[in-house]
Chain A
Amino acid sequence: MPLPPASGTGRYFAKAAKSIRLLRHGCTNRPFFHISVTQRRRPNSLPVIEQLGSYDPMPNMDNEKLVALNLERIKYWLGHGAHVTPPVAELLGLAGFFPIHPRSYMTAWRNRATERENLAKEAEKAAEDKDA
C-alpha cells in the first residue's frame, strides 16, 4: 500500500485536540518513525492530518541518527495549540528548537551512572585476576 501524502488525508476537526507524535512505520526489527500531527484521541492506524518529519532511530554506517523536521509546519501546529508527546519533545529539545527535555537529562545521567558502575566492576575484576 502506498504511503498517504505528507499533507495528510485524515479527518480534521478544528476544535478537537491534536498531538504531534511519533508513528511507527518500519517493519519487524526495523523501527522507523514519522513525526505526524493527528487527532489526539484517535488510534494511530488512521490517516494523519499532516506528516511533519521523520526519525530513524537506527544509527547509519557513520553512526548517526537522522531526524527530519518541517519546522515551519511544526510552528504552525504549535501555534494552533497542538500537544507534543515526550519522545518528539525530546527530539525537538536535542535539535535546539525546544529547551532540553528533562527526560533527556535523566537518560544521560543514568547512562553515565551505569557506565561508571561497569568501569568499577571491570577494575575490580582486573584486580581479582591479578591477585589470583
Chain B
Amino acid sequence: MSLLKLLKNNTRNVLIKCNESQLIFISSRKLSIVPSSYDGENPAPKFFSSGIQILLKRLTRPDYAKVFRKRSNSNAPMLETPQYKFLTDEELQIEKEKANQSADRLLQMPPVVKVHEPINDVLSKDPALVGFDSAKYLFTDISFGVANEHRLIVERDPDGILRSCDHDVRKRLNQIYFPMLGRKIREPLIFADDEKLHSLLDRQKYEYVLDRACVQYEPDEPKFQKVTSITYQHIDTNMQYDLLRSTRHFGPLAFYLTWHKCMDSLMFELVQTGAIREAVLLMSLRHAVHGDLKNGADSDALGKQVLTTPVQLSKSEYLTEEDIQLDNKCIECLDAYIVNNSTMKSQQGLALQGFREYYQQMVELSRGLKKAHGTA
C-alpha cells in the first residue's frame, strides 16, 4: 500500500517537473477578458422580480444528485453510513418536501445589484487638531444588535477631519470586530493575483472561484463584480455551462449574459443539447429583461406553458402528443428568434435543423411504439 502511495506521489512530482516549462507558458499568457460590472442601470428590480427569479431557477435545471452531492469531507471526521427506511406514501411526500426545501436553500442565488457608490461624508473639520497624531484613528460603534451595513464607523484623519469610512475600511473593521466565517481580512491570493485566478479558470474551477468570491465579497462590491464577470465570460467562451448547472451560480450567469446581450452561445448550447424548452425560457428571460424580441409575446406565453411541465434532466425516450405539440411550438418560436434577433444565426440555425431531424425520428419512433402497443 505504502509503495503504491510513494509511486503516486513520485509520479505527481515527475508530472509537476515535466509541466514546469508549460506552467511558465501558462502564467505568461494573458487572458483578454475585459471585466464589466453593473454600474449603469440598477439590475436589482429586474433580477428580484418574481417572473425573472422563476425563469432563472428553472434555467438552473436542478439535478438533486448534484445539488446534494458530498462536496468535501473536511468537516466530517468519517463518512456517515446512509440510512435506508421503509416509508409510506405520505411519509415519502413529507421527505421529498423537506428535500425540496433544503435544495431551495442550497440554490439561493447570490443577488445581482448595482455597484455601491463611494462614501464621502465629512462630519466635521477641526484644523486645530492638525499634528495631534500621525496615525489615523478609526472608531467603531460595537453596540449590540446593529447590522454590519448600518454600523457607525468613523475616522479621524491626521489633518483633523472627522469623516465616515469608505466601504473597504468598513468591511475590514466589521471583519475585525464581527468576523464572518471564511472571509479573510487581507484579500486572498486567488483574487489579489490575476495569474492565480486565471490558472484556476483554465483548470475550470469555476464553482470554487464563485463560492470563494461570495464569501469574500459583498455582492455590491466592484471587486466581486469584476471577478464574477471574468469567470462568467470565461465560462461563456469555453461553453462550460454544464459545470454551473444545479448550482446557485447559474442564475446570475444567465442573468449576466442576458443583461449584456451576449447569451447567444448559451442559446446555441441549449439548442445543440436539445434543451429546446429551456431555450424558449431563455428567450422569455431576454424579453423580460430587455423587451427587444420581435416575437416576445409568443415566447412569454410559451414560456409560461413550459414552466408548468417538469424539469427535463435527461432526454425523454417516450413522447406524448402534448409533448410533441409543445416542442413543435418551441421550435417555431426559436426559429423566429434566430431569424430576427440572433447574433449567431448560421450556427444556431444549423443546430436547430439538426435537432429538428433528430426530433422527427423520435416522434416517428414513439408513434410507432404506440401503434405497436395498440394504444394509439
Contact = CB atoms under 8 A, between A and B. Distances in A.
A95 B126 CA distance: 12
B176 to A, nearest CB: 7
A104 interface: yes
A100 B126 contact: yes
B141 interface: yes
B138 to A, nearest CB: 5
A27 B142 CA distance: 24
B44 interface: no
B136 A115 contact: no
A66 B176 CA distance: 10
Contacts of B135: 59, 63-65
B130 A108 contact: yes
B77 to A, nearest CB: 27
Contacts of B177: 68
A111 interface: yes
B201 interface: no
A71 B137 contact: no
Interface in B234-263: none
Nearest to A60: B135
Contact of B137 (A94, A100, A107, A109): A94
B123 interface: yes
A56 to B, nearest CB: 10
Interface string B164-177: 00000000010011
B56 to A, nearest CB: 40
Contact of B129 (A63, A64, A68, A108): A108
Contact of A72 (B128, B144, B160): B144
- Interface size, A (range): 20 to 34
Interface string A70-104: 11110000000000000000010011100010001
Interface in B122-161: 123-124, 126, 128-144, 152, 154-156, 160
B270 to A, nearest CB: 48
B107 interface: no
A64 B138 CA distance: 7
Contacts of A109: 128, 131
Nearest to B134: A63
A115 B129 contact: no
Q: Is the interface of B mostly helix, strand, loop or mixed?
A: mixed
B176 A65 contact: no
Given A64-B136, A96-B162, A71 B141 contact: yes
A9 B234 CA distance: 57
Contacts of B143: 70-73
Nearest to A90: B132
A105 interface: yes
Contact of A108 (B131, B138, B141): B131
A104 B129 contact: yes
Given A95-B156, A96-B123, A96-B154, A108 B132 contact: yes
A124 B203 CA distance: 64
B162 A111 contact: no
A115 to B, nearest CB: 7
A67 B138 CA distance: 6
A90 B130 CA distance: 15
Interface in A35-72: 53, 59, 62-72
Nearest to A64: B136
Contacts of B176: 66
Contacts of A64: 135-138, 155
Contacts of A91: 137, 139
B136 to A, nearest CB: 5
Given A66-B173, A68-B177, A94 B139 contact: yes
In this complex, which of A73, A94, A107 has the most chain B Cβ atoms within 10 angstroms of its Cβ?
A94
A125 interface: no
A111 B126 contact: no
Contacts of A121: none
A112 interface: yes
B142 A68 contact: yes
Contacts of B132: 94, 104, 107-108, 111
Given A96-B124, A100-B129, 20 more contacts: A63-B134, A63-B135, A64-B137, A64-B155, A65-B135, A65-B138, A66-B138, A66-B173, A66-B176, A68-B177, A70-B142, A71-B152, A72-B143, A94-B139, A96-B123, A96-B139, A96-B162, A104-B132, A105-B128, A105-B129
10 contacts: A65-B135, A69-B140, A95-B137, A95-B154, A96-B139, A96-B154, A96-B162, A108-B129, A112-B130, A115-B131
